[in-house]
């Protein structure tokens, strides 16, 4: 039995360019890990299987078959290592990151799976090679492996590690309705929202525009009730969209302010979590 963890993320700044001919979008992303942790435990088994649990969340949207990113990550690592008939594994996934919330929960699971499988199969795949496999799995997987704070360019997989920022205290307002990342990008293209990417922006300049997210108008257009919610004044500052949504985040002064804000939102019937930023990346536990 081998376990590894990875953190969820928010984009503190997220600029998205117009759709390229290959269907991808260039981005400029200030990725920040948060203290919500996914734990993936792998055990050799007679067939590939996944079980997802959570103390906090509804995880029914997470696939139980081989389309789950934990299995896809293991198979991609096997291929990279030249293993033709990999040992089937059972995956226990313990989730703290909302499913389809724009916080890269599936990507964190994939990153933790890579680290756990690398150890369980004694592959000795080094970090740069793991990063290459991660990039083949999805735009947010390399960051989930790296963690901390990083600037992502290209499609988001070209990462430049940044010094740790001062801790931020956050409250996350979850939405019971999922929002498909693909649908948000489609609406983004239809509305012609692509921005000119300015890769020269420094960390300080990105931090000074904390919360900017090119995808917000597209997510709000697809889900008008999310726009209404984001515009509601709960008394703790502006709401920002996390990734492609529908999770909203607010910045609070202190951890206790964030906890109080989450309590207030829950008292109003919303689903909310308080958390802080994290300097951690994916690792064995
Ligand atoms: P991102 O921001 O990276 O686009 P997200 O955080 O909005 O993604 P995820 O929780 O990663 O959303 O899930 C997106 C979709 O991926 C889910 O609807 C589900 O069908 C699929 N998926 C595959 N593997 C997983 C996993 N381990 N956990 C959750 N979803 C998964």
Q: How confident is the model at residue 275 (pLDDT cuts 50, 70, 90)?
A: very high
Q: Tokens standing for 220?
A: 């709000």
Distance 129 CA to ligand 1 centre (A): 23
Q: Tokens standing for 230?
A: 């984001």
So what's the pLDDT on residue 199?
Answer: 86
**Count of other CB atoms within 10 angstroms of residue 117:** 28
So what's the pLDDT on residue 56?
Answer: 82
So what's the pLDDT on residue 124?
Answer: 97
70 lines ligand 1 (CB under 6 A): yes
So what's the pLDDT on residue 101?
Answer: 86
* CA-proximal residue: ligand 1, atom 28 (nearest): 106
Distance 125 CA to ligand 1 centre (A): 25
- DSSP string computed for 148-198: SEEEEETTTTEEEE-PPPPP-EEEEEE-SS---HHHHHHHHHHTT-PPPP-
70 CA: nearest ligand 1 atom: 27
104 lines ligand 1 (CB under 6 A): yes
CA 53 to chain centroid: 18
**Of 154, 146, 141, 149, which is closest to residue 199 (Cα–Cα)?**
154
Alpha-carbon distance of 184 to 191, in angstroms, equals: 11
108 lines ligand 1 (CB under 6 A): no
- Regarding an ipTM greater than 0.90, the answer is yes
So what's the pLDDT on residue 57?
Answer: 87
Residue 58 makes CB contacts below 8 A (sequence gap 6+) with 99, 176
pLDDT at 49 exceeding the cut of 90: yes
CA 93 to chain centroid: 15
Query: Cis peptide leading into 246, omega within 30 of 0?
Result: yes
Q: What is the four-CA torsion angle of 151, 217, 140, 255, rounded to 10 degrees?
A: 70
So what's the pLDDT on residue 272?
Answer: 95
156 lines ligand 1 (CB under 6 A): no
Q: Do 56 and 87 touch, CB atoms closer than 8 A? A: no
Q: pLDDT for 165-198, tens place per residue?
A: 999 999 999 998 889 999 999 999 999 999 999 8
Lowest mean pLDDT among 30-39, 92-101, 260-269: 92-101
Percent pLDDT > 70 in the chain is 100
- Return the active site residues: 9, 140
Q: 32-51 in b/e burial notation, b at 16+ Cβ within 10 A?
A: bbbbbbbbbbbeeeeebbbe
So what's the pLDDT on residue 176?
Answer: 86
Q: Tokens standing for 151?
A: 């600037």
User: For the chain, which domains are there?
Assistant: 1-285 (3.30.230.10)
* CA-proximal residue: ligand 1, atom 3 (nearest): 104
So what's the pLDDT on residue 102?
Answer: 87
Average pLDDT of every residue of the chain: 96
- The reply, when asked if residue 281 is annotated as ligand binding, is no
pLDDT at 20 exceeding the cut of 90: yes
Which letter does DSSP use for residue 87 in this model?
A: P
Q: pLDDT for 60-114, tens place per residue?
A: 889 999 999 999 999 999 999 999 999 999 999 999 998 888 899 999 999 999 9
Tokens 């990507």 correspond to what residue?
107
Distance 181 CA to ligand 1 centre (A): 9
Distance 266 CA to ligand 1 centre (A): 24
So what's the pLDDT on residue 38?
Answer: 98
Q: pLDDT for 230-244, tens place per residue?
A: 999 999 999 999 999
So what's the pLDDT on residue 26?
Answer: 95
Q: Tokens standing for 9?
A: 């993320």
Alpha-carbon distance of 54 to 49, in angstroms, equals: 17
Q: Do 208 and 62 touch, CB atoms closer than 8 A? A: no
Q: pLDDT for 200-225, tens place per residue?
A: 899 999 999 999 999 999 999 999 99
Tokens 């499609």 correspond to what residue?
155
* CA-proximal residue: ligand 1, atom 2 (nearest): 102
147 lines ligand 1 (CB under 6 A): no
67 CA: nearest ligand 1 atom: 23
So what's the pLDDT on residue 100?
Answer: 84
| 132 CB-contact burial (10 Å; exposed 0-12 / middle 13-18 / buried 19+) | middle
């Amino acid at each position: 039995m081998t376990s590894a963890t990875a953190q969820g993320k928010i984009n503190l700044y997220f600029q998205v360019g117009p759709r390229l001919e290959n269907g991808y979008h260039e981005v400029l992303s200030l990725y920040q890990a948060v203290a919500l942790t996914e734990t993936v435990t792998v055990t050799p088994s007679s067939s590939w299987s996944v079980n997802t649990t959570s103390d906090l969340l509804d995880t029914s949207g997470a696939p139980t078959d081989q389309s789950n990113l934990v299995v896809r990550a293991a198979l991609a690592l096997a291929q990279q290592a030249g293993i033709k008939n990999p040992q089937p594994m059972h995956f226990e996934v313990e989730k703290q990151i909302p499913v389809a919330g724009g916080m890269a929960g599936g990507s964190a699971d994939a990153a933790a799976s890579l680290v756990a499988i690398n150890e369980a199969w004694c592959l000795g795949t080094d970090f740069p090679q793991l990063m290459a496999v991660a990039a083949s799995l999805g735009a947010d997987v390399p960051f989930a492996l790296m963690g901390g704070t990083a600037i992502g360019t290209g499609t988001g997989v070209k990462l430049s590690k940044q010094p740790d920022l001062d801790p931020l205290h956050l409250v996350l307002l979850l939405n019971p309705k999922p929002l498909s990342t693909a649908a948000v990008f489609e609406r983004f293209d239809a509305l012609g929202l692509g921005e000119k990417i300015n890769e020269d922006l420094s960390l300080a300049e990105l931090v000074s525009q904390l919360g900017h997210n090119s995808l917000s108008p597209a997510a709000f257009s697809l889900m008008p009730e999310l726009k209404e919610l984001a515009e509601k004044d709960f008394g703790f500052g502006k709401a920002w969209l996390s990734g492609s949504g529908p999770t909203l985040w607010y910045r609070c002064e202190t951890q206790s302010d964030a906890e109080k804000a989450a309590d207030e939102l829950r008292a109003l019937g919303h689903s909310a979590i308080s958390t802080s930023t994290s300097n951690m990346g994916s690792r064995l536990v």
